[in-house]
Each structure stands twice: as C-alpha cells, then as structure tokens.
Amino acid sequence: MGNFADKLITEIKNKKSSICVGLDPRLDLIPNFIVEKHRQKEGDTFACVSQVLVEFNKGIIDAIKDLVPCVKPQIAFYEMFGFPGIWAYQETCAYAKSQGLIVVGDVKRNDIDSTASAYAKAYLGKVDLFGKKIEVCTCDAITVNAYLGYDGVKPFIEECHANAKGIFVLVKTSNKSSGDLQDRNVDNYATLYEMLAHLLDSWGSDDIGDCGYSSIGAVVGATYPDQAKKLRKIMPNTIFLVPGYGAQGGTAEDVKACYNEDGLGAIINSSRGITFAYKNDKKFDEKNYADASREAVIKMQKDLKVVGIV
C-alpha cells in the first residue's frame, strides 16, 4: 500500500516542484462571473456559495495540476458556510485527488484519544456506516495540533500507518504571536517548539519510507528562518509543511533553511498569492483568473530556483 512520504517525494521529483497551493477561497475575491452564474440559479444561499467555491477551485486545480505536487485546502474558509461549505470542501478534495494532486487538509484538528480517532477516521481512514467502511473526505494528509500530547496524536498516526496517509503537526507556526507558548524555554530544551520537535522525530520513526522521510511531518512557518534551521537539525527525517511564504512575508531565502542538503524535505505553501493572482496583475481579467494562478506558480518556482530550491 506504500507510504505517504514516498508518494509525496516521488511527486516532488516528478514535477520538479515542492510548491503547495493553498485553496483558501474568499467569496469577495472570487470572479464575479462565477458568483453571478450561481446566484441566478440558487439565489443568495449557502448552497449557492458552495457551488461558487467548487467551480472556482476546479479552475485553479486544472490550471496548476501539472506544475505542483500538492494542494492544501484550509477548511475554515469552507466550514464558515456550514454544511454546504463542508460539501464544497469534500468536493474540492475529491476533485484535486482525481486530478493526480496530493491533498493536505489544513484542519488543525486535536482532541483526546477517542475523539481524535473520530477525526482521524473521517480525514485519513474510513468511517463505519452500518458495517460498511466508507471514505468521507479524501485527504492524503492533514494538519494536527499536538497541545494534548501523544495520546491525542496517536489515533492520527495509526490511520497514517494503516492507510499510507500523513500528518503535519504544528511545531513552529508562522503567525506573530506563535512564540507566546512555542518559544518558551522548557526543562532541558531550549524552547517548547524544539522539545516538540524531539518528540515528533521519535513519533515519526516508525513511518519512514524508502525515501528516508517520515509520513509524520511538521508545520514550520516561513517567517521564522532561524528557528527552521534548528528544527531541520533536530528532525532530519521529517518533511516540513511551510506556510507563510508570500502574503505573510516569508521569502525564498527564508524557506531555504527548511530543506535538507538533498534539496528535499519541505513543501512551501502559498495561498492568496496564487489563487487570487488575477487581482494583482492588470494583464489578466477575471475570466482568466486561472491563467493568472498558473503564471503565479511559475513565478514562485523561479523565485525558489534563485536560491537553489527545486
């Protein structure tokens, strides 16, 4: 059945890209021609919004699917529209997967063991429906918050193990206040995020694939390059999912520290900078929003190449 890390590293090599496109739709930034088409059919309803999100995402996916190994839909921007939004999330994940993309569900779920297990089955495994095992939301990996400790992460690791899936555990996040807890000096470790990195290195040791990387990854923000350098040393076999490039201020030079010397070990996410690129480039009108996204990916690819990142 394989291993998630092997699958991801293979796709990175095949596509010569470690870019992850964040699918974080914002209703007010989506082209009017998509919005109005569905408003005429469905009226001002959440059902309409859900159709708009899916059509917009499909356009992006079709435009970038041959260029990048993976996409990362952020569930908050779907969940905010209630159950029709979750329908759009499921449709988006399924479509991306059907087009050969690896799907990282950015859900940051966390809970005590039995509850974490319900989340893990929904996003990484199968759910029991009257004796039949059914896939609910087809992600290849999800993000997980480890504040509850090992027994809250274990159910996710178990599903990774059973189904060749992956997780990315929040270690050092990209936001300004991330140091409030994460940068505190703890026990014999320099900081909490470094201590968690040591735990994570050990939690992931059973799921290292032929590529030398583990399916149990880490979220490390592009906005903290010095911290990333330390984390790269603590977790040599861990794949970093790196948010914060572009709109949040992280540069190509900043994310370089997230890679190993083999030129692998990281995927760099960009959301707004790619999906809403048509807003910042007068060359494109809204009808060509997907072409603008494709060009933004190619531009990001070049930007990363300057500092030696494939």
Binding site for a second copy (CB under 8 A): 24, 27-28, 39, 44-46, 49, 74, 76-77, 79-84, 86-87, 90, 108-113, 115-116, 118-119, 121-122, 127-130, 132, 134, 136-137, 145-152, 170, 173-182, 184-187, 192, 195-196, 199, 243
Query: Cβ of residue 129: shortest distance to a second copy, in angstroms?
Result: 6
Query: Cβ of residue 295: shortest distance to a second copy, in angstroms?
Result: 24
Query: What are 266's two structure tokens?
Result: 């990281």
CA–CA distance, 180 with 208 (Å, rounded to integer): 32
Our CB check for a second copy shows the closer of 81 and 95 to be 81
Query: Cβ of residue 148: shortest distance to a second copy, in angstroms?
Result: 5
Q: Give 85-88 contacts, CB < 8 A, sequence gap 24+.
A: 85/46, 85/49, 85/50, 85/53, 87/50, 88/49, 88/50, 88/51, 88/53, 88/54, 88/57
Query: Cβ of residue 308: shortest distance to a second copy, in angstroms?
Result: 28
Supply the residues annotated as catalytic: 108
What angle is formed at CA 50 by the lines to CA 21 and CA 169, rounded to 5 degrees?
Answer: 40
CA–CA distance, 22 with 296 (Å, rounded to integer): 13
Our CB check for a second copy shows the closer of 179 and 212 to be 179
Our CB check for a second copy shows the closer of 13 and 58 to be 58
Our CB check for a second copy shows the closer of 31 and 209 to be 31
Our CB check for a second copy shows the closer of 196 and 211 to be 196
CA–CA distance, 278 with 273 (Å, rounded to integer): 9
CA–CA distance, 217 with 167 (Å, rounded to integer): 6
**What are residue 294's phi and psi, to 5 degrees?**
-60, -45
DSSP assignments along 111-130, one per residue: --HHHHHHHHHHHHS-EEET
Query: Cβ of residue 45: shortest distance to a second copy, in angstroms?
Result: 8
